[in-house]
Copies of this chain bind each other. A is one copy, B any other.
Amino acid sequence: MAVFLSTYVNKVDRKGRVSVPASFRAVLAEQSAGVADGVIVFRSLQHPALEACSERHMEALAEALEKADLDDETRDLWETNVFAGSVLLPIDAEGRVILPQDLAEFAGITENAAFVGRNKVFQIWQPETFRARAEQARTQGRNAGLSLSSLTAAARRTPQP
């Protein structure tokens, strides 16, 4: 299993701890030489939600940023958004993380948190906010005529290097 899949809603305890779903931890571990000791979390640019990925994924991002041909201002924006805005949350022995207050507030998370698999990354939402968003996404997807066959067709049109 190499991608983050499904949605899980877990409780935030009074200390601010939340369990990262076991299957997500497995994916993180796979990308980090066996043990999932930490996860990178940052604010989504599009939604009132948090994005999360493995350290390795972040390293790849950092590398891409160094190599990318960007003007100074754009690079500065990236570095501010990516590095300054991210946190590395350690995962404890029970598989939990503590969401920093400012990030939890940004996503409106208090009692519960929804972990949403999104392929290479996952998101953390306030469950009710996510439910609304998911419903909207379904409608939009149907209207746009999304289907699995259209996706695989699109993939065939743009072969990978």
Contact = CB atoms under 8 A, between A and B. Distances in A.
Contacts of A55: 1
Interface stretch (A11-19, A28-36, A74-82): A74-82
A137 B81 contact: yes
A101 interface: no
B77 A119 contact: no
A151 B68 contact: yes
A134 interface: yes
Contact of A83 (B76, B119, B133): B119
A93 interface: no
Interface string A2-26: 0111110000000000000001000
Interface string A121-146: 10000000000011001101110101
Interface of A: 1, 3-7, 23, 40, 43, 45-46, 55, 59-70, 72, 74, 76-81, 83-88, 116-119, 121, 133-134, 137-138, 140-142, 144, 146-148, 151-152, 154-158, 160-161
